[in-house]
Amino acid sequence: MTTVTDTKPAPPRAKKRQASVLFDAPGPKARMRHNILTLIAAIVILGIIYVVIARFHKEGQLQGKLWKPFIQGSTWTDYILPGIGGTLKASLAAAVLALIFGVVFGLARLSDHRWIRIPAGAIVEFFRAIPLLILIFFVFSGPPTIANALNREFPEVSAFAALVIGLMLYNGSVLAEIFRAGINSVPRGQSEAAYAIGLRKGGVMRLILIPQATTAMMPAIVSQLVVLLKDSALGWIIAYEDLLNTGYRLIPTQYGNLIPAAIVIALIYIAMNLSLSYLATWLEKRSRRSRKSSAKTLGTGGALPGAGMSQDAVMPT
């Protein structure tokens, strides 16, 4: 005869802290030390902020009359909103052209033909090596200067065109390297399998490599577009009417509030960059859920993207 005894379930094991690749999980003393250092750093930062605010107050930069223009509608309609429009217009045009430039030259650098690959690489490296400020200034004043030296007429380059071209050449070259690295990051077995079922290189690139590389490239692409948006402020050197020019030059000239204007313009730039980063996060999540841009469709036993055949048709049993 067997007896049944009541057994209590074993208590759940405490979760162990996983060690990182670079260092072991901190113990109690290490965690206490980290908390103390974090508290000290926070106190130091707050102290620096207090000193800065106190200095501004002593110099009279926090007076209400200096901040009053920013609660007036005329300041926004006459200066800030037109400046935001100019910044967004130049940034959007430059971003579209930079993406096209990056795709074309990124794919050109992956070409099997030396006469395409080598010149494309030289162009990309050349424009990546030039400081953007010098590039914008040269596009703006270089062609007319050269034309005058040759006694020829050349139409004047507008500030908008010079800024957009400079942003396109520099950021497009960086994006070309991002596209090339993203496509090369796809495992070679993917392209070899596509070649094995009869796809040509164009089909392999369009149906296999680019859709999988898009998700991996998205964070780097958007980070570069945020840099492009901030770099549009360099149009100030050629008197382009952007947010920095209208908000940081014209408003202080009118009201004598340089520090408040700098703070407000900086907050507007931060808001625009955070909005673009949020949009990037949303696009990345959406692309990961999409079957067209996710690499999971290649490993689920289903059809290859665009191949139009099932796994059983590709690999007969």
Whole-number Å distance between alpha carbons of 228 and 224: 6
CB-based burial, 37-66: b 16+ in 10 Å, e otherwise: eeeeeeeeeeeeeeeeeeebeeeebeeeeb
Residue 96 backbone class (left: φ over 0; alpha: ψ -120 to 50; beta: rest): alpha
- Backbone φ, ψ for residue 306 (5° rounding): 80, -5
Task: Find out whether 222 and 277 touch, Cβ atoms under 8 Å.
Answer: yes
Task: Find out whether 157 and 144 touch, Cβ atoms under 8 Å.
Answer: yes
Which segments of 28-80 does DSSP mark as H helices, in order?
28-58, 64-67, 73-75
Of residues 221, 229, 183, the one with CA closest to residue 88: 229
Grouped pLDDT means (10 residues each) for the chain, 317 residues: 51 50 70 90 92 79 78 85 91 93 89 87 91 90 76 80 93 91 80 76 74 78 88 88 85 81 89 84 70 40 38 37
In this prediction, residue 7 carries a pLDDT of 53
In this prediction, residue 309 carries a pLDDT of 38
Whole-number Å distance between alpha carbons of 286 and 26: 36
In this prediction, residue 295 carries a pLDDT of 43
In this prediction, residue 8 carries a pLDDT of 54
Q: Is 1.10.3720.10 the CATH classification of the domain at 88-242?
A: yes
* Domain spans, the chain: 88-242
In this prediction, residue 303 carries a pLDDT of 38
Structure token digits, residue 310:
């099932």
**C-alpha Rg value of the chain to the nearest Å:** 28
Of residues 238, 130, 213, 206, the one with CA closest to residue 174: 130
In this prediction, residue 289 carries a pLDDT of 66
